[in-house]
C-alpha cells in the first residue's frame, strides 16, 4: 500500500578536510526517486587549507509501493586524503527504512567521482532515516590526484522484503564483493579478496581510530583501506587473534602500522623460527606492537646479538624477549656495546655475567641492563650503594641482586622501605643487609604491607623480639605474608607432631622454612625420608635438630639418589654405619665425604633416576634437574 505523504530523510555530512584546488571543494550529490539534492558548496577561496564541512538533512518523496533507489556521489579531491562514506552497517536497507535503524559502517570511496548506489524494494509503508557521511582520511592514491576524475558506480541490492536480516548480505560485505568485481573488470578500483567478518570489523575499527589529520607529523603513516585490510588479513591468517589485532589498532590509533604486509609476515616468520608459539606471539605483540615497525632483518639481528651475549638456549632467549619485549625494538649494535661495557665497568666475573643472563629469563628488571642507558644504570646503582651504604666490593659481590632493583628510584622508592625495615627490626648488621639485598622483592613491597606483616608475625610468634629475630633471618617471609606463616604453624602441629611452642621454635631455628608450603605432599615425603635416614625419634625431633633445613630444601631426586648410593657403599665396604651429614651438599662435597669419584657417583645417579624406586619415591616432586641419559627401568647394578 503506497503512502505518498511519507518522506525519506537522508543526512549527508563531511568531516573537516583540506581541498586540493581553490574553488573546487569536495561536495556530495544525492539522488533518490529521480529527485536530486546537493550538499556542500563546492567553493572555497584557499587551496590546501580550507575546512569544508557540510551536514544537511535532505528530504525526498517516498512511495512505499514502488522500487526505491538511493544514489550518493562524491565530487572533488581532498588533499592527501581518501574519502570515506559512512553509511549503514551490516543490515538490510529495507529494514532500516522500516524500523528507523541508525547503524553506521565506513565504506571507502577510492577517488574523486566515486559514488555508491543503494536500492531496496520499498514494499513497506513507512520511511525511515538514512545517515551517510563523507570524511577525509586515509592516503589518496596518486592517480586520484594527478589523473582525471573518474565516476564509479557501485550497486548494492537488498532483496526480499520479509527475509531475516541475518540471511541477507550486508553493505560492508557487498562493498567488498563489488570492489573485487570492479578490479576484475579493469575499472581501476583495487581488488580485494572477500574478507572474513573479523577482518571487516577490524577494518572499521582501524578507520574509526585513525585520528591523524593533514599536517600531523605522522600523517605520512596513514593507510588506505586496501592497505589496512591487507595487513589485518595477514595478521589473522598468521595466528594473531582478533583481540590482539584490535589491541594493536587501538593503541596505535589506526593501522596496523608496518612497512608492508609482506614485511609484517616476515617478522612473524622470524618469531616462529625462534620457537614462538601462537599464544606467545599474541602476548608479545600486545605488549610491544612497535616490533612491526621494524624490518624483519633488524629483528633477526637482535636475536643474533642476544644469542651471542647471553649464551642461553633459544627457548630461554625467547623467554627473555617475552619478559622484556622492547628488546626486539632495540638496535642490535647498541645492545652488544652495552653488554660489553658492563663487565669491565663493574669488574664482574664470568660467573656473575652468566648469572645476570640467567636472571633475565625471570626478571624484567634485570633486562634493564640492556634497555636503560649507561648513565641511568650508573646513577641507579650509585644511588642504591648510597642508600644501603655498600662498599665498592659489596656492590660487585651483590651485583646480580642489585640489578633486580634497577627499575626503582633509590631515593623515592628504596630509601623509605629500607628505613622502615630498620625501624621495625632494628639497625641492620652487614649480614642482615646481604640477606635483604638477596631477597630484593622485599624492597619493592608497599610500606603498609611491610607494617601489616610485621604486626601479624609479632602476634603469631608471641613477642616482638621473636618476630624481629625470625624476620631478620628470613626477609622473604615479608613477601610470603602472614597467612603462609599461620598455615605453616598449623602444619607443624597437625602433620609433624609439634606442640605450639615447638612449632614456634622450629621457625626461629630455621626461619627459611616459613617460606615453604609445609602441608604439601612433597615436603611431607622429604620430612619422612630424612627422619628415617638419620634415625630421629619423630618428625618433630628432626625439625628441631640443627642444620635440618638444607636437607629439606633438596628434592627427593637428590636425597633419594644419595641415600641409595650410600646403601650400595655400605654393602660394598661392609660398613653398615657409613653415613654423612653432607647428604644435600654439592656433588663435590658429597663425593669427598663418602670417598668416591664424582664420575662413579654420576653413573650411579643416572641409573637410579630411571629406576622404579625413584619413580615411587619422587612421585610428588617435579622433574629432576639432572639430565637423564638412559631408558626407564634401567638396572642399578
Segment 464-503, tens digit of pLDDT:
999 999 999 999 999 999 999 999 999 999 999 999 999 9
pLDDT of amino acid 396? 93
State pLDDT tens for residues 248-268: 888 888 878 888 889 999 999
The C-alpha cell of 276 is what?
614462538
State pLDDT tens for residues 581-591: 999 999 999 99
Q: Is the pLDDT of residue 139 over 50?
A: no
pLDDT of amino acid 71? 54
pLDDT of amino acid 86? 41
pLDDT of amino acid 11? 54
For 407, counting Cβ atoms within 10 Å of its Cβ (0-12 exposed, 13-18 middle, 19+ buried), the class is middle
pLDDT of amino acid 112? 37
pLDDT of amino acid 257? 86
Q: Is the pLDDT of residue 158 over 50?
A: no
- How far apart CA 308 and CA 300 sit, in angstroms, is 13
Q: Is the pLDDT of residue 79 over 50?
A: no
Return mean pLDDT, the chain.
76
Q: Is the pLDDT of residue 153 over 70?
A: no
pLDDT of amino acid 65? 41
Pairing verdict, β 7-17 and 129-135: parallel
pLDDT of amino acid 28? 58
**Per-residue confidence band for 596, with pLDDT thresholds at 50, 70 and 90:** very high
Least confident of 166-170, 307-311, 331-335, 421-425: 166-170
Taking residues 68-78, what's their average pLDDT? 48
- Which of 97-106, 181-190, 525-534 holds the top average pLDDT? 525-534
- How far apart CA 595 and CA 601 sit, in angstroms, is 10
Q: Is the pLDDT of residue 120 over 50?
A: no
The C-alpha cell of 265 is what?
609476515
* Sign for the pseudo-dihedral over CA of 255, 260, 262, 266: negative
Taking residues 607-630, what's their average pLDDT? 85
How many Cα atoms within 13 Å fall on the side-chain side of residue 191?
9
Residues 55, 10: contact at Cβ < 8 Å? no
Q: How far, CA to CA in Å, does 89 sit from each of 32, 86, 105, 106, 456?
A: 20, 9, 5, 8, 60
- How far apart CA 633 and CA 580 sit, in angstroms, is 28
H helices of 59-214, in order, are: 93-99, 142-146, 171-184, 197-209
> Which of the pair, 220 or 563, is modelled with greater confidence?
563
Taking residues 373-399, what's their average pLDDT? 95
How many Cα atoms within 13 Å fall on the side-chain side of residue 509?
17
Q: Is the pLDDT of residue 623 over 60?
A: yes
Q: How far, CA to CA in Å, does 532 sit from each of 340, 529, 538, 615, 624?
A: 52, 5, 9, 19, 23
> Which of the pair, 633 or 378, is modelled with greater confidence?
378
pLDDT of amino acid 5? 42
Q: Is the pLDDT of residue 96 over 90?
A: no
> Which of the pair, 177 or 446, is modelled with greater confidence?
446
Which helix (H) or strand (E) segment holds residue 28: the answer is strand 27-32
Specify the DSSP class assigned to residue 627: P
Q: Is the pLDDT of residue 363 over 70?
A: yes
State pLDDT tens for residues 266-298: 999 999 999 999 999 999 999 999 999 899 999
Taking residues 238-243, what's their average pLDDT? 90
pLDDT of amino acid 84? 41
Closest CA to 212 of 52, 380, 80: 80
Per DSSP, the three-state class of 420 is helix
- How far apart CA 444 and CA 442 sit, in angstroms, is 5
Taking residues 438-460, what's their average pLDDT? 95
Q: How far, CA to CA in Å, does 109 sit from each of 68, 143, 175, 179, 505?
A: 23, 14, 10, 10, 79
Closest CA to 355 of 345, 341, 369: 369
CA angle 32, 38, 40 (to 5 degrees): 145
pLDDT of amino acid 168? 32
Position of cell 646479538? Answer: 305
Closest CA to 120 of 103, 99, 152, 97: 97
Amino acid at each position: 500500500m503506497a503512502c505518498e505523504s511519507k518522506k525519506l530523510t537522508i543526512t549527508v555530512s563531511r568531516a573537516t578536510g583540506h581541498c586540493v584546488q581553490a574553488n573546487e571543494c569536495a561536495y556530495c550529490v544525492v539522488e533518490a526517486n529521480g529527485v536530486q539534492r546537493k550538499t556542500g558548496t563546492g567553493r572555497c577561496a584557499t587551496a590546501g587549507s580550507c575546512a569544508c564541512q557540510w551536514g544537511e538533512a535532505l528530504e525526498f518523496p517516498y512511495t512505499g509501493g514502488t522500487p526505491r533507489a538511493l544514489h550518493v556521489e562524491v565530487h572533488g579531491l581532498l588533499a592527501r586524503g581518501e574519502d570515506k562514506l559512512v553509511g549503514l552497517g551490516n543490515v538490510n536497507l529495507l529494514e532500516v527504512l522500516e524500523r528507523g535503524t541508525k547503524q553506521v559502517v565506513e565504506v571507502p570511496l577510492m577517488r574523486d567521482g566515486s559514488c555508491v548506489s543503494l536500492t531496496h524494494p520499498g514494499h513497506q509503508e513507512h520511511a525511515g532515516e538514512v545517515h551517510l557521511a563523507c570524511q577525509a582520511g586515509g592516503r589518496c592514491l596518486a592517480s586520484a590526484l594527478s589523473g582525471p576524475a573518474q565516476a564509479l558506480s557501485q550497486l548494492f541490492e537488498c532483496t526480499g522484503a520479509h527475509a531475516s536480516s541475518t540471511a541477507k548480505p550486508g553493505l560492508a560485505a557487498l562493498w567488498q564483493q563489488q570492489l573485487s568485481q570492479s578490479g576484475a573488470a579493469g575499472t581501476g578500483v583495487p581488488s580485494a579478496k572477500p574478507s572474513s567478518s573479523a577482518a571487516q570489523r577490524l577494518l572499521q575499527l582501524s578507520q574509526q581510530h585513525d585520528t591523524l589529520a593533514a599536517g600531523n607529523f605522522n600523517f605520512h603513516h596513514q593507510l588506505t583501506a586496501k592497505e589496512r585490510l591487507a595487513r589485518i588479513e595477514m595478521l589473522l591468517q598468521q595466528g594473531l587473534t582478533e583481540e590482539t589485532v584490535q589491541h594493536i589498532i587501538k593503541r596505535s590509533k589506526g593501522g596496523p602500522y608496518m612497512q608492508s604486509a609482506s614485511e609484517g609476515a616476515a617478522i612473524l616468520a622470524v618469531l616462529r623460527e625462534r620457537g614462538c608459539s601462537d599464544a606467545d606471539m599474541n602476548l608479545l605483540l600486545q605488549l610491544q606492537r612497535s616490533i612491526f615497525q621494524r624490518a624483519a632483518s633488524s629483528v633477526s639481528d637482535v636475536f643474533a646479538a642476544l644469542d651471542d651475549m647471553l649464551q642461553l638456549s633459544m627457548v630461554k632467549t625467547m623467554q627473555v624477549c617475552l619478559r622484556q619485549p622492547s628488546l626486539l625494538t632495540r638496535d642490535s649494535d647498541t645492545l652488544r656495546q652495552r653488554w660489553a661495557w658492563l663487565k669491565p665497568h663493574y669488574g664482574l666475573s664470568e660467573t656473575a655475567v652468566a648469572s645476570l643472563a640467567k636472571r633475565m629469563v625471570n626478571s624484567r628488571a634485570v633486562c634493564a641492563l640492556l634497555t636503560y642507558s649507561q648513565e641511568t644504570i650508573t646513577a641507579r646503582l650509585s644511588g642504591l650503594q648510597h642508600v644501603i651504604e655498600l662498599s665498592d666490593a659489596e656492590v660487585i659481590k651483590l651485583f646480580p641482586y642489585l640489578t633486580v632493583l634497577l627499575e626503582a628510584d633509590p631515593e623515592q622508592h628504596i630509601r623509605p622501605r629500607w628505613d622502615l625495615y630498620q625501624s621495625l627490626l632494628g639497625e641492620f648488621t652487614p649480614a642482615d643487609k646481604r640477606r635483604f639485598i638477596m631477597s630484593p622483592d622485599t624492597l619493592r613491597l608497599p610500606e603498609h604491607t611491610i607494617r601489616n606483616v610485621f604486626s601479624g608475625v609479632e602476634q603469631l610468634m608471641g613477642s616482638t623480639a621473636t618476630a624481629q629475630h625470625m624476620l631478620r633471618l628470613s626477609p622473604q617471609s615479608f613477601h610470603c605474608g602472614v597467612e603462609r606463616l599461620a598455615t605453616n604453624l598449623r602444619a607443624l602441629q597437625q602433620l609433624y607432631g609439634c606442640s605450639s611452642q615447638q612449632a614456634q621454635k622450629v621457625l626461629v631455628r630455621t626461619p627459611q622454612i616459613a617460606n615453604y608450603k609445609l602441608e604439601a605432599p612433597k615436603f611431607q615425603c622429604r620430612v619422612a625420608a630424612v627422619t628415617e635416614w638419620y634415625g630421629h625419634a619423630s618428625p618433630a625431633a628432626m625439625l628441631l635438630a640443627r642444620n635440618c633445613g638444607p636437607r629439606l630444601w633438596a628434592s627427593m631426586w637428590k636425597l633419594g639418589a644419595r641415600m641409595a648410593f650410600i646403601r650400595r657403599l655400605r654393602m660394598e665396604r661392609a660398613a653398615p654405619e657409613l653415613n654423612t651429614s653432607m647428604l644435600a651438599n654439592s656433588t663435590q662435597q658429597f663425593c669427598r665425604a663418602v670417598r668416591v669419584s664424582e664420575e662413579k657417583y654420576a653413573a650411579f645417579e643416572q641409573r637410579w633416576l630411571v629406576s622404579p624406586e625413584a619413580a615411587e619415591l619422587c612421585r610428588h616432586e617435579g622433574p629432576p634437574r639432572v639430565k637423564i641419559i638412559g631408558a626407564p627401568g634401567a638396572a642399578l647394578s
